[in-house]
Structure 1
Amino acid sequence: MIPGARIAAAIEVLEEIEARKRPAAEVLKEWGLAHRFAGSKDRGAIGSLVFDALRRRASSAYIMGEETARAIMLGALRQVRGMSVDEIGALCSGEAHAPSPLDGGESERLASADLTGAPAHVAGDFPQWLEPSFIAVFGAAVVGETAALAARAPLDLRVNTLKATRDKALASLAHLQPQPTSLSPLGLRVPLTLDGRGAALTAEPAYVKGLIEIQDEGSQLAALLAAAKPGEQVLDLCAGAGGKTLALAAAMQNKGQIYATDSDGRRLMPIFKRLERAGARNVQVRAPRRGQDALADLDGRCDLVVVDAPCTGTGTWRRNPDAKWRIRPGALEQRILDQDRALEEAVRFVKPGGRILYVTCSVLREENEERLVVFLAAHPEFKGLPGVEMAEQAGLPQLGGFASPFGPGLRLTPLTSETDGFFIAMLQRG
């Protein structure tokens, strides 16, 4: 496919996403199945165009003066890809399945693209109904913080210390030009291609052999801040596909025991292959069983319970830009209920002197500090550790600079820490 035809295809996919309110990945997959002539490089390029447009949907529509898929794509080519009007015009030739030529109004708007005076939700590319929540967190920095959430996400890797050192992983991946991450002592960052795509890591020997795992630096830090020690009894209560479980197993040097569970057993399915590849041998997977309590034997036995709580995912919008346009107020209310329920469930497993690590990939106070206020009021036997103290206990004192100004815990954002958005808090039982 010629570059212009890829743009036309991306516009078609955007129209389908809007019409059917479906996740972008699903629509892209269906498009590929229906257009077998498109090769893997074509499909990858089209997907990259679609995600760039979704990242900057609101601001692109603003500068183009309309909310059509074509307008959003043209605006994204200008804002994200940095293309000139002439470059965009050359791609929109109307020939060989390329988009129709630019009209005078489109050329003029692209030439004068300017967000000066745009509302915060437009300049920061987020749903308008969330503006009060974002202002409550970021104040005057709301546009800068949310614009950073609309940027492309980096490709981060965690070195699996059960099998490799960071130096060994760097050498194995030298052809990809990775760089050590600035905050995580176990992280590597691999540069993206010019069109925003990452390397095909699943074909790399270092990945196949389990030397590395794909994991955002912020998620790596959350696992490190748990300060899990060899020999401890640890419960990962919302384990999902097991990213943090694997990191905890490495931190514990395969000593002690980790119990990985999730309320939805289907989410646990990828963990088995990942554990095998990583060489993690101290993990028991406890899938839920109807009518049975799969965790009954863990009551009051755990040194650490990790609650990677269900959340709106506002901190991961760089990776899932379509999610921010599908989220509705009712989803926030439901997630708050889920978070309170998960924290309440964790209590039964924590032994005296034990701790709960509460983690979300959200930047909203409603899902973070406000949940701790509710929890601590109901459970005076727990205390929330200040962010500075939490960082020092984990041997990462430099993270104290990310202490939340709203209560216990740490806050990471793309703008401040160059990671996904995370909230990480430690609740210590007396």
Structure 2
Amino acid sequence: MTPAAHALAAIEVLTEIVERHRPVAQSLKDWGGAHRFAGSGDRARIASLVYDALRARSSLAWRMGADSPRALVLGALAFIRGAELDALGASFAATPHAPAPPFEAERAAMATGSLDGAPAHVRGDYPDWLDAPLARVFGDARAEEGAALSQRAPLDLRVNALKGDREKALRSLAHLKAEVTPLSPFGVRVPLTDDGRGPPVQAEPAYQKGLVEVQDEGSQIAVMIAAAAPGEQVVDLCAGAGGKTLALAAAMNNRGQIYAHDSDIRRLSPLNERATRAGVRNLQIRSPRGEANVLADLEGKADLVLVDAPCTGAGTWRRNPDAKWRMRPTSLEQRMLEQDAALDVAAPLVRPGGRLVYVTCSLLMEENEDRLAAFIARHPEFRSARAVEAAVGAGAPVLGAYANAAGDALLLSPKRSNTDGFFIATLRRT
């Protein structure tokens, strides 16, 4: 397929997403199934263009003066890819498998469109109803924070200390030009290609042998702050597919016990295979069993309970740009209820003197500081630790620079720390 045909396909996929309100991944999969002639490279380039358009949907629409799928793709080609207008028009005209060449008004917009006078939510590329919540967190910097969340995310890997060290991983991935991450001592960052794709690291021997796992540096930092130690009793309450579970087990050097639980048994299904590949031997998976309390025997015994709470994912918009446009106030309210419920389940598991680490991949105070305040009001036996103290306790005092305004949690973001957005708070049970 030609680049012009990629643009046409991207318009078709975006039309499906916009008109039918479908997730981008499913729309891309369906398009690929209906167009078997498109190779894997073609599908990847189409996906990259679709994601570029979705990341910057508001600012592209403002510059183009329209928010149609065609306008978004043309805008992405002009303002993100830097396409030269005459060459673009000629490539579109050269084949029937292409959009119509840019019209006069489109050419003018692509040549001169700017964000002068645009409101914060347009410059930051997020829904206008989220302007007030983001202003609570970032004030006048919210547009810059949003714009950073609209850039392509890097490809980060975590080195599994059970299988080797970072130097070994760098040697194994030298052909991918892997580099160390600036904040996590276990992180490796692999450059993306010019069209925003990452290499297929899951096919690399380092991955297949368990030496590395795909994990954003911000997620690695969350596990560092949890500071799981060998010999401890640890509960990963909202384990999902187990990315943080495996990192906790590595920090414990397979000593002690880690219990992985999730309210949805389907999310836990990959964990056994992943744990085997990673060489984890101190893991128990506590799958839900109807109304039974499968964690009852752990009450008051856990040194650490990690609550990686369900959230809106507002810190991961770089990777899931369609999520921000599908997000609604009602979904935020539902996540807040789920966060309160998860914290209430976690509280009785923590032993006196133990700690509860609350993590979200959101930047919104409604899901973060507000939830902690409500939790402590319900459970006055818990006290927040200062973020600087938590960073020092994790052996990474430099992370204290990313404390939130109140100083009782870390707040990571693409602009602040060049990671996904994460909120990380440590509480101790007195």
1:147-296 paired onto structure 2 within 5 Å: 147-296=147-296
1:8-19 paired onto structure 2 within 5 Å: 8-19=8-19
C-alpha separation between the residues in 2 aligned to 1:255 and 1:324? Answer: 40
Alpha-carbon offset, residue 58 of structure 1: 0.9
C-alpha separation between the residues in 2 aligned to 1:361 and 1:429? Answer: 24
Secondary structure of 1:323 counterpart? helix
Aligned to 1:301: 301
Per-residue displacement from partner, 1:353-408 (whole Å, max 9, x unpaired)? 01100000000011001111111122221110111111011111000000111351
1:19-418 paired onto structure 2 within 5 Å: 19-93=19-93, 95-418=95-418
Alpha-carbon offset, residue 85 of structure 1: 2.2
C-alpha separation between the residues in 1 aligned to 2:78 and 2:419? Answer: 25
C-alpha separation between the residues in 1 aligned to 2:90 and 2:389? Answer: 57
C-alpha separation between the residues in 2 aligned to 1:14 and 1:91? Answer: 21
C-alpha separation between the residues in 1 aligned to 2:110 and 2:24? Answer: 26
C-alpha separation between the residues in 2 aligned to 1:411 and 1:87? Answer: 44
Secondary structure of 1:240 counterpart? coil
2:156–2:189 contact (8 Å) kept in structure 1 = yes
Secondary structure of 2:315 counterpart? helix
C-alpha separation between the residues in 1 aligned to 2:168 and 2:407? Answer: 39
Q: Which runs of 4+ in 1 moved over 6 A?
A: none
Secondary structure of 1:354 counterpart? strand
2:79–2:110 contact (8 Å) kept in structure 1 = no
C-alpha separation between the residues in 2 aligned to 1:302 and 1:111? Answer: 60
Q: Give unpaired runs (5+ residues) of structure 1.
A: none
C-alpha separation between the residues in 2 aligned to 1:8 and 1:27? Answer: 15
2:361–2:422 contact (8 Å) kept in structure 1 = yes
CA RMSD of aligned residues (A): 0.9
Per-residue displacement from partner, 1:300-338 (whole Å, max 9, x unpaired)? 110000000000000000000011110111000001111
Letter in 2 for 1:268: L
Per-residue displacement from partner, 1:39-67 (whole Å, max 9, x unpaired)? 11111111111111100111111111111
Alpha-carbon offset, residue 94 of structure 1: 6.0
C-alpha separation between the residues in 1 aligned to 2:237 and 2:64? Answer: 46
Secondary structure of 2:148 counterpart? helix
Letter in 1 for 2:49: L
Letter in 2 for 1:235: V
Alpha-carbon offset, residue 84 of structure 1: 2.7
Letter in 1 for 2:169: A
Alpha-carbon offset, residue 228 of structure 1: 0.5
C-alpha separation between the residues in 2 aligned to 1:265 and 1:297? Answer: 20
Secondary structure of 1:322 counterpart? helix
Alpha-carbon offset, residue 299 of structure 1: 1.0
Secondary structure of 1:358 counterpart? strand
Q: Which moved more, 1:108-117 or 1:79-88?
A: 79-88
Secondary structure of 1:365 counterpart? coil
C-alpha separation between the residues in 2 aligned to 1:90 and 1:238? Answer: 52
Letter in 1 for 2:349: F
Letter in 2 for 1:185: P
C-alpha separation between the residues in 2 aligned to 1:399 and 1:203? Answer: 33
Per-residue displacement from partner, 1:9-52 (whole Å, max 9, x unpaired)? 01000000011111100010011011111111111111111111
Q: How many residues align?
A: 430
Secondary structure of 1:213 counterpart? strand
Summarize the Cα distance change of 1:407–1:343 in structure 2 as closer, same or farther, 3 Å threshold: farther
Alpha-carbon offset, residue 348 of structure 1: 1.1
Alpha-carbon offset, residue 95 of structure 1: 1.7
C-alpha separation between the residues in 1 aligned to 2:134 and 2:318? Answer: 16
Per-residue displacement from partner, 1:123-174 (whole Å, max 9, x unpaired)? 1110010000111111111111100000000000000000010000000000
Letter in 2 for 1:257: Q
2:237–2:305 contact (8 Å) kept in structure 1 = yes
Letter in 1 for 2:207: Y
Q: Give unpaired runs (5+ residues) of structure 2.
A: none
2:388–2:407 contact (8 Å) kept in structure 1 = no
Secondary structure of 1:109 counterpart? helix
Letter in 1 for 2:178: P
2:257–2:284 contact (8 Å) kept in structure 1 = yes
2:302–2:354 contact (8 Å) kept in structure 1 = yes
Alpha-carbon offset, residue 297 of structure 1: 1.0
Q: What TM-score comes out, normalization by structure 1 length?
A: 0.99
C-alpha separation between the residues in 1 aligned to 2:163 and 2:101? Answer: 55
C-alpha separation between the residues in 1 aligned to 2:284 and 2:421? Answer: 29
Secondary structure of 2:93 counterpart? coil
Alpha-carbon offset, residue 175 of structure 1: 0.1
Summarize the Cα distance change of 1:231–1:174 in structure 2 as closer, same or farther, 3 Å threshold: same
C-alpha separation between the residues in 2 aligned to 1:148 and 1:62? Answer: 18
Letter in 1 for 2:47: G
